[in-house]
Amino acid sequence: MAAKSTTKPGRLGFMLTVPSLLLVLALVILPLGYAVVISMTDFPLVGSYHYVGLANYRTIFHDSQFLHAILLTVVYTAIVTGPIFVVGYGLAMLTRSNRRGSTLLRTMFFLPYIVGLTFESFILYVELQPDSGGVNFLLRILGLTDGSTAWLVHTVPGMVAICVLVVWFSSGLTMVLLLGGMQGVPRELYESAALDGAGRWRTELRITLPLLRQPIALSLILSVIGSFLAFNQFEILTQGGPGTSTTPVVLWIYQVAFTQGLIGKATAGALLLVVAVAAISAGQFILLRDPEANAR
């Protein structure tokens, strides 16, 4: 007779989680701990380093460029998060039916996200060039400008270009997230609302939106995280200029680390950014979580 297994369910469950725990330890915990150590040193790109305690953190909070980068990142996040959600929600409303052509529209709206922000930033950079870009060419034909405007060397036009690009890029992902939630709403609810005489917008506000709390929370969290970690579009389009007027936090970290060679200071800034993103994401999740799910 075959021997009975003596492995307890709790022990078996723990054994099954060990590979994942080791992976998290290797890819998250250990690198994070090493980053904390580096942030407390004057770690250079070349040469020896020395322990400096919290000096890097004190230096950062007295660095006007870092404080400006924080402010710019917060303002940029506040500007793009709302339009990304509104446009994404509108696209989801437009394509949630199974009418002919809906699948094609979904593909077209999601395509910018598939192509990638880096490639699209290069395309926009070329199109906004003073003498050879398509934007100036069109404006010159229309007689609106002389066609030699250097859009990306000025703060406001550069930021507008970045914000428009990011909204166009990210709205497709928001559409997909919200569309999945919309398609899970029972049709009986809409039919009952129609019988009660509820209009389209009232139906959206009273039925659809309350049932989309989790997709909305996920889309907003991803949008905020993406905005706080913005790098490629700023580096490609404005290089943080003019001066440091369009330098977000991640670009500041990159410049401090690889231009100035101050790895310890840059790592301290990166850790502060990680803490800020985690806190904001947790706050959004708490505010937007389903109260009924918590009560169960």
Taking only the tens of pLDDT, the chain with its 296 residues reads 445 555 566 677 778 788 888 888 888 889 889 999 999 998 887 778 889 999 999 999 999 999 999 999 999 999 999 999 999 999 999 998 878 888 899 999 999 999 999 999 999 999 999 888 899 899 889 888 887 888 999 999 999 999 999 999 999 999 999 998 888 888 888 778 777 777 777 888 888 888 888 899 899 999 999 999 999 999 999 999 899 999 999 999 999 999 999 999 999 999 999 999 989 888 877 877 766 555 55
pTM attached to this predicted model: 0.87
The domains of the chain are located at: 60-290
In this structure, whether the domain defined by 60-290 belongs to CATH 1.10.3720.10 is answered with yes
Predicted pLDDT of residue 1: 45
pLDDT at 292: 59
Nearest Cα residue to 156 out of 164, 166, 148:
164
